[in-house]
Structure 1
């Protein structure tokens, strides 16, 4: 009986450690430049304002309607549920190829399985509920991470893409053909997105809609500078190659500053990891070397309450540290 009790206690402790480390990773693994979410929201709002001005539906809505027509009736109903379009946009921006409703089903299955397993093993429903809450958001956090990674990769490749477009314009190529040169000459998300934009132009879409569609798929301030320059030059005229040369220099300077800020904030991130992980290491060391010292904390109801309170306070600390490390560039 004692062995069973000790095993249950170990499972409870490991589950709490899993929850805390997962929250820590979700908080501190996000890049130091944390204003991207606000920027994307402003970009999406601006795109929503621009699209009605053009009097035509956006490229994204047309592609969404075409995508739904290819599905069977059941999948079409599931994909048409509230929130599925936003989730599908997140999946597309992350570079994944899974349907939105399958992500929801996976989240529910993971949450239900985790809750049932922890409740069966520990008989302690708060821990099972906490693990279920973590597992239900795990697929979404994974998609957010993949989107962030893809956006950073796109922005890192964008200066080179702008240079290719500039050289193509200087040699006499039309703008649409310069986009095709980017798609053929580079790899990764830049090649894919510029290839889609080139296809839009080739199939008769006007430049404004094609460029706004690119910005809708890749909501980035860096890309917005490029799109704005192209659209303004289309309306007012001017030397687009020279404008793109200046924009490329500005983007490279911004990246250099970002890397500088990331280097200067590395010490803060390391301190955050140490502050958050030392309590777990110290607890494990004391528990396995002198179990009697932790017996009251682990076995008593009051001890369980203190452990839960400490985990909540550590979560607050992790979120506060993350806020301190967010630097807008």
Structure 2
């Protein structure tokens, strides 16, 4: 390995990072469908409902109150572009970080990583790429925590609906059932139902409180719950029966998602194996035949072959992702 330039070792590690990242985002994350696109559609519908009913945007109102508690410098930083979306993402992840601190942490980590690469190698563009990649690590961590929290909320929602049905049969009013769920359960379900109860208890109407719940937890499951409750309050009927059917529907949806995950397991494992083979083979050749790989790294034609192979691998990752979605 002493004959291999350090910049190509860094390039190799960068290729591994990019391949694993794209594979995890393209094959592992969207197993259950277009969750991100669904959340965008839900937020769009919420904005349409708020405009149609002349209601203020709950996120905007809460953000204005939040900014008044900050110092002038912090408030100026929090009003930078995309800070409101990052703040909402942090809150949905269950954290209490301030958005500008997350950005500053990313910049600090990226600068440290870039300087370290410059000290090891004089390739400035490699240092820039590494710094850019490291900058996104705090944001990816928050996004991952938000996805976990969404999943925990949806997993606990059927039990919460069953508890609401029992409370309604016992004669409790609707807002009291929300309080009982918040007290008897744990995790994101208890927290979100507690916020919804507090919203109603402090004088807000049920419609706006339920839309606030959907705004904090934008998912198809919560949208079904909110729609069912709002339709019941406008047209009447047996809310207990509606919630029971919704609980069974959500559990059936989870069973269907697990079946999809099982059916796509072979394709996802094949994707990981196919992407890992070139990198594992390259490392094995370096250790078994040290004089073989430097010929590829030191020749200009070898550089073009490496770049072409990596581009072909990226195309293969997206193609595998498409095949897996077609199969399921």
TM-score range, shorter chain: over 0.9
Q: Which residue of 2 aligns with 1:70?
A: 69
Of 318-327 and 173-182, the range deviating more from structure 2: 318-327
Cα displacement (A) at 1:99: 0.9
- 8 Å Cα contact 2:4/2:294 also seen in 1: no
1:1-329 paired onto structure 2 within 5 Å: 3=2, 9-326=8-325
Cα displacement (A) at 1:63: 1.5
- 8 Å Cα contact 1:94/1:143 also seen in 2: yes
Cα 1:63–1:326 shift into 2, 3 Å? farther
- 8 Å Cα contact 2:28/2:268 also seen in 1: no
**Cα deviation digits, residues 267-286 of structure 1 (max 9, x gap):** 11110110111111111001
Tell me, in whole angstroms, the C-alpha distance in 2 between the residues paired with 1:185 and 1:271: 43
Cα 1:314–1:328 shift into 2, 3 Å? closer
- 8 Å Cα contact 2:296/2:302 also seen in 1: yes
- 8 Å Cα contact 1:265/1:325 also seen in 2: yes
**Cα deviation digits, residues 226-285 of structure 1 (max 9, x gap):** 111111111111110011111111111111111111111111111011011111111100
- 8 Å Cα contact 1:12/1:127 also seen in 2: yes
Tell me, in whole angstroms, the C-alpha distance in 2 between the residues paired with 1:208 and 1:193: 15
SS of the aligned residue for 1:30 comes to: helix
Give the TM-score taking structure 1 as reference length.
0.93
- 8 Å Cα contact 2:32/2:260 also seen in 1: no
Of 18-27 and 261-270, the range deviating more from structure 2: 18-27
Of 25-34 and 92-101, the range deviating more from structure 2: 25-34
Tell me, in whole angstroms, the C-alpha distance in 1 between the residues paired with 2:309 and 2:125: 14
- 8 Å Cα contact 2:115/2:127 also seen in 1: yes
Tell me, in whole angstroms, the C-alpha distance in 1 between the residues paired with 2:251 and 2:274: 35
SS of the aligned residue for 1:292 comes to: coil
**Cα deviation digits, residues 77-136 of structure 1 (max 9, x gap):** 111112111111111111222111112222222222222222331223343333223222
Tell me, in whole angstroms, the C-alpha distance in 2 between the residues paired with 1:285 and 1:310: 18
> Number of matched residues?
328
The CA RMSD over aligned residues, in Å, is 2.1
Cα displacement (A) at 1:34: 3.1
- 8 Å Cα contact 2:114/2:128 also seen in 1: yes
Of 297-306 and 81-90, the range deviating more from structure 2: 297-306
Cα displacement (A) at 1:292: 1.4
* Structure 1 unaligned residues grouped into runs of 5+: none
Cα displacement (A) at 1:5: 6.0
Cα 1:25–1:261 shift into 2, 3 Å? closer
Give the TM-score taking structure 2 as reference length.
0.93
